Structure 1
Amino acid sequence: MILTAIFAMGLYLAVLVLVVGTAFRVVHYVRIPVPLVIPTTPAPITRTGVVVRLLREVVFFESLFKGSKWTWLFGWVFHFAMLMVLLEHLRYVSEPVWLWIVAIQWIGLYAGIAMCLGLVGLAVRRVVVDRIRYISAPSDHLMLLLLVGIGASGVGMKVFWHTDIVALKAFVIGLIRFDWQPLPGDPALLVHLSLVIVLMLIFPFSKLLHAPG
């Protein structure tokens, strides 16, 4: 029960820091005055055009594609695969599990592998590309390692170190309902959750905050 309490409190704290910290930073950015409006040409002149362009950037990373094909490939694969992984993980917080979540469960393993491959590609880029290596800080490499660790430990539990997902879901649902249930003590799961907690704690204060933008 001590292990359950440690991770329960850690996850509560991580969620609090993630939500409050991210909200604070976003509000702070919104309030920063913009002294100059610098249009990027060719710019759309209608609201519909702006929405379409924004969707192209958010969904397809259009500007990144124009700038660097390899960076676009690894970045897009990572982000899309991570989205699939997050959607697949919704089964742990929904009861009963929604039908469309059940339908995408088979994607989880492949998305996890793709996520790791995308991250490895981005990590290699920071080492082998001179101009990227020059501007990369140690925190950039550590952030990629943290994300790789989360992805690799998740894939590992799918393939090698299986955990009791029924008990894990009971633990997660118990956190939501403030009715704690025992957390499985599998080492791979504990490593995975620990890395997730670390990510949530540092997210609002890292370069990963580009996500809400």
Structure 2
Amino acid sequence: MALLTNFYAFLFYFAAFVLVAGLTRKIIQYAVTPAPLKIPTTPAPTTRWGVVLRMVREVVLFESLFRGNKWTWIFGWTFHFGLFLVTLRHLRYFIEPVPFPIQLIQPFGIYGGIAMVIGLAGLWSRRFLVDRLRYISAPSDHLMLALLLGIGCTGLLMKFAFHVDVVEIKTFFQGLYRYDIQPLPADPLLLLHLLLVALLMIIFPFSKLLHAPGLFFSPTRNQVDNPREQRHLAPWAKRLEH
């Protein structure tokens, strides 16, 4: 039992380090990569506040995906919104006392888990049923969807079929903050769920899931459409002119 608890404690320490270090490295890389061309996707906003509003619509509503493919938008938005609710619901394991807004979100987080699984199932089925998507799908695409679906399904099973001691789970994760390792329940489904979550944390900084932070650094989305009013020069191009 102690060996199992220590293994998962080390696993989550390692996964958290990889996630934070990997994301930090990629965000810095995105930030310093020059954008020598003015290439906002039109119709594009002509003011900085317009760009902010466009990014909000893109992050919240998936505006460009809605224009591109309605079925992908339905399943993609359902998955991401469900994941958002599930993430908020799981904050109760890491915060004490639990804030009132997080307490209110608990019932909705359950429906979020169901929405997450439905959205993932729809996205994965399209990679088999749509010829164009099947042709461009790599094994890593299927493995990533399988990993996310496995996390969602094991989480729902623990809620509706095989209940676990949530108090002990919270005590375990709270103990990680203080480097005070507390016993972890040895439920097989819980251990599988946590293993998949840790794998996702480790893989995230090196996968296509980096579109999450990458969106904010996309020149097609974050540039103002003002090439006539202002000449666009990358920082390295300005240095060459001098």
What is the root-mean-square deviation in Å for CA atoms of aligned residues? 0.8
The residue number in structure 2 matching 1:120 is 121
Cα deviation for residue 204 of structure 1 reads 0.6
Instruction: Tell which deviates more after alignment, 58-67 or 29-38.
Output: 29-38
The residue number in structure 1 matching 2:206 is 205
Aligned residue for 1:82, secondary structure, equals helix
Q: 2: CA distance between counterparts of 1:108 and 1:188?
A: 19
The residue number in structure 2 matching 1:50 is 51
**Pair 1:5-2:35 in alignment:** no
Cα deviation for residue 108 of structure 1 reads 2.2
Q: 1: CA distance between counterparts of 2:84 and 2:116?
A: 9
Q: 1: CA distance between counterparts of 2:109 and 2:45?
A: 38
Q: 1: CA distance between counterparts of 2:28 and 2:115?
A: 33
Aligned residue for 1:106, secondary structure, equals helix
Instruction: Tell which deviates more after alignment, 60-69 or 43-52.
Output: 43-52
**Pair 1:129-2:130 in alignment:** yes
Cα deviation for residue 110 of structure 1 reads 1.2
Q: 2: CA distance between counterparts of 1:99 and 1:39?
A: 41
How many residues were matched structurally?
213
Q: 2: CA distance between counterparts of 1:164 and 1:30?
A: 43
Q: 1: CA distance between counterparts of 2:159 and 2:88?
A: 16
The residue number in structure 1 matching 2:79 is 78
Aligned residue for 1:105, secondary structure, equals helix
The residue number in structure 2 matching 1:190 is 191
The residue number in structure 1 matching 2:228 is none
Q: 2: CA distance between counterparts of 1:32 and 1:105?
A: 41
Q: 2: CA distance between counterparts of 1:53 and 1:22?
A: 24
Cα deviation for residue 34 of structure 1 reads 2.1
Percent of paired sites with the same residue: 60
The residue number in structure 1 matching 2:235 is none
Specify the structure having the higher radius of gyration (Cα).
2
Aligned residue for 1:212, secondary structure, equals helix
- For structure 1, list consecutive stretches of 5 or more residues without a partner in the other structure: none
